Amino acid sequence: MDSPQKNTIIVLLVIILTTHFQLVSAQKSENSTNIIERIGEAYAESLEDDADLSTLLEDLVFFSDNPLNINTATRTDLERLHFLSTIQIENLLSYIRNYGQLYSSFELVAIDGFDTQTAADLSAFVVFTPTEAESKSYWQHTIDSRYRQSVETKAGFIENESGEAKFKGIKPALLLKYKASKGNKLEYAFTAENDEGEEFFKGNNAKGFDFYSAYLAIKFNTILKEVIVGDYQVKSGLGLVTWSGFGKRKSAQEINIRPLGQGIRGVSSTNENGFMRGAAFRFEKGAFNLISYYSYNPTDATVSKSDSLGNALQISALQQSGYHRTESELSNRNSLTVQTAGMHLRYNLNRFSAGLNYAYQHFNLPLILTHKAYNRYYFEGKENYNISTDFLWAFNRVNFFGEAGMSRSKGKAFVGGMEAQPSNDFSFSLLYRNYAPDFQTINGQAFSETSGNRNEEGWYAGWSVLPFGKVKITGYADFYRSHWLKYTSASPSNGFDFALQTTYTPARNIEFYLKLKHENNTEKSSHEALLRYDTKRTIQRLRLNADWKVNELFDAKARAEFSRYQKEETNENGLLLFADLAVHPGSKLKIHTRFSWFDTPGYNSRIYAYENDVLHYFYIPAFYSEGLRYYINLSYALNSHFKIYMKLSQTHYLDDEFTIGTGTSHIEGNKKTDFKIHIRYRL
């Protein structure tokens, strides 16, 4: 791109940014959509391990559509909101027990640990209905269908000289989901999904979709409190042993580091991994709570050895993509059967609770790794088990928590800490974790720098301060090291992360924040040498963000973000600028648009940004190279039952020689265009 054009784009976006800074006052609190986007944005940079954020955000979408009655909400219900801390939840429940029902959001600020922002956030997802006025529960049915397709043709769909393409299936990605519930007593759901390139009603998927999921959940008023049959998630303790789905991550806005949402729940996510398939039961008697579960789940794996008849004898890796488009991917499909069984026993006494967790897992084929120095302590074989004990001790404004565990390999792990809120203007958290190199978790998702809950020791501190009425300062510092070398290092490594965010809210409809993030760690040198060695890598990011609710019709956002990557002789500086405009011309129609310009030398200096999308689709792209991205996203309610969501987006790389994707995902040209349409029917 020539210099005059580039300068014109920069000047235009700077004008938009500065225009957004000339703000006017209004009195409207942040709505549920803004809160969901804020939480998704907070974790955007922590998803490089492909963690599934959908369950967390779908909880918020559910309560946005089906507000929770705060006067009858349980601890488990409130934990599903995710932005409330353990202290706030305990104090809220205690307030209702001691003073009776809440009738207005204005009462929330009288509860210890609640400020005006937390009260406004909570009010977007709850109602204040007196218990005696609660109506009878009725059946609610929801059908969701989605069509998603890239306009440009990927290499996997292009036929060779023999008329064959590597992708065996259709171009669009399809989703069909049905969910029904009667109050909180009975719920069942069915999900069918096809990724792009997967066959549909032919070939390997002669019976329709590539992936099916379903569950039935029933709650009782007996010792047996809950039964789930089908696909479900289990979350126990602090995640050392079993924590399906998304676990805790570092965030400049996050001081609530104890994972919430323990228990069992049905899952209708399109993520083809990270769930159990079988049955789970929850019992409760007095102060004791028991969860037991069993799962029999075929899963994808790389077969490394077969007999003369082609029967698999051993595997070398588990596959997590969920794609079944090519011959290679299809050969890995359901090649391994995983059986998992476990229990979680919990004792609750006022504000103290303690738990015992056990999980056992068996593979029908042995996992034999290609041995490397870094994977010396990784799990191999056919069976594994974990056992742990955890506790929570909550006071009025402080709680202590911890979990200690051991695996079949005799490897040990511990994670524990505290969260405190001495006043409404100040809160902090501390956490220590120590995971031995030979600790081999089955489904763990405890707090850590990397996935797997192994080979790491670290100290984390987070804080939130309100020094003035309109200013909030949040941040964290994390020091960590590995006991043994890692895939990215030639020797035991160490690192330090630091983040600081200052938020200024001059009016309830206006918010600015400035966020600084700094990462230092050691990894393998890029230089070729007989003996590999580690060197320092530094990543820095600086973000200036402005949100402005102009009036009931318009919302606006502007952002400038700078990134820097340094390693040996490599120095990369990246920049992202974008402007958003959301229009609400009526109660039925909402339109959200964004225009972005980015310029980074490469993937090392990439910048993440959460995007507004169609219902139940959460997209956080990484921007690198130089280009433009723009989209329009709209939703329209035809009536009280039907609602349509649509999104059209395009990324245009300004270098005509830029290559989009690799292998079967390669696209000829420098543009990538995507279209999505989602239709929801509710009765």
φ and ψ at residue 97, rounded to 5 degrees? -65, -40
Structure tokens at 597: 């310009």
Taking residue 642's Cβ as centre, other Cβ atoms within 10 Å add up to 12
Angle at 322 between CA 321 and CA 324, to 5 degrees: 115
C-alpha to C-alpha distance for 643 and 587, rounded to whole angstroms: 12
Domains in the chain, CATH or no CATH each: 31-133 (1.10.150)
φ and ψ at residue 579, rounded to 5 degrees? -135, 135
Contact call for residues 232 and 265 (beta carbons, < 8 A): yes
Query: pLDDT tens digits, residue range 528-578?
Result: 777 888 999 999 999 999 999 898 899 999 999 999 999 999 999 999 999
φ and ψ at residue 184, rounded to 5 degrees? -110, 20
Classify residue 587 as exposed, middle or buried by CB count within 10 Å of its CB (0-12, 13-18, 19+): exposed
* Winning range, highest mean pLDDT, from 92-96, 129-133, 518-522: 518-522
For the cut 60, the answer to whether the pLDDT of residue 8 exceeds it is no
What is the structure's pLDDT at 224? 96
Share of the chain above pLDDT 70, in %: 92
Report how many helices (DSSP H) and strands (DSSP E) the chain contains, helices first: 7, 31
Structure tokens at 327: 């011959």
What is the structure's pLDDT at 484? 95
Which has the closest alpha carbon to 337: 306, 401, 382?
382
Contact call for residues 40 and 53 (beta carbons, < 8 A): yes
Which has the closest alpha carbon to 117: 429, 470, 402?
470
Query: pLDDT tens digits, residue range 415-472?
Result: 999 999 888 889 999 999 999 999 999 888 899 988 788 999 999 999 999 898 889 9
C-alpha to C-alpha distance for 630 and 623, rounded to whole angstroms: 12
Contact call for residues 71 and 128 (beta carbons, < 8 A): yes
Amino acid (one-letter) located at 573: N
Contact call for residues 676 and 147 (beta carbons, < 8 A): yes
What is the structure's pLDDT at 1? 52
What is the structure's pLDDT at 437? 95
Query: pLDDT tens digits, residue range 628-670?
Result: 999 999 999 999 899 999 999 999 999 887 888 889 999 988 9
What is the structure's pLDDT at 21? 34
Does this model's pTM top 0.75? My answer is yes
What is the structure's pLDDT at 381? 94
C-alpha to C-alpha distance for 6 and 22, rounded to whole angstroms: 25
Query: pLDDT tens digits, residue range 32-66?
Result: 777 777 777 776 666 544 445 666 777 787 788 78
Which has the closest alpha carbon to 81: 30, 138, 32?
32
C-alpha to C-alpha distance for 21 and 18, rounded to whole angstroms: 5
* Count, residues in the chain: 683
C-alpha to C-alpha distance for 113 and 315, rounded to whole angstroms: 51
Grade residue 23 by pLDDT with cuts at 50, 70 and 90.
very low
Contact call for residues 234 and 342 (beta carbons, < 8 A): yes
Structure tokens at 389: 């004990």
What is the structure's pLDDT at 43? 67
Which of helix, strand or coil describes residue 112? coil
Pairing of strands 126-127, 68-69: parallel
**Strand spans (E) along 395-440:** 398-407, 412-423, 426-435
Angle at 485 between CA 481 and CA 491, to 5 degrees: 90
Grade residue 132 by pLDDT with cuts at 50, 70 and 90.
low
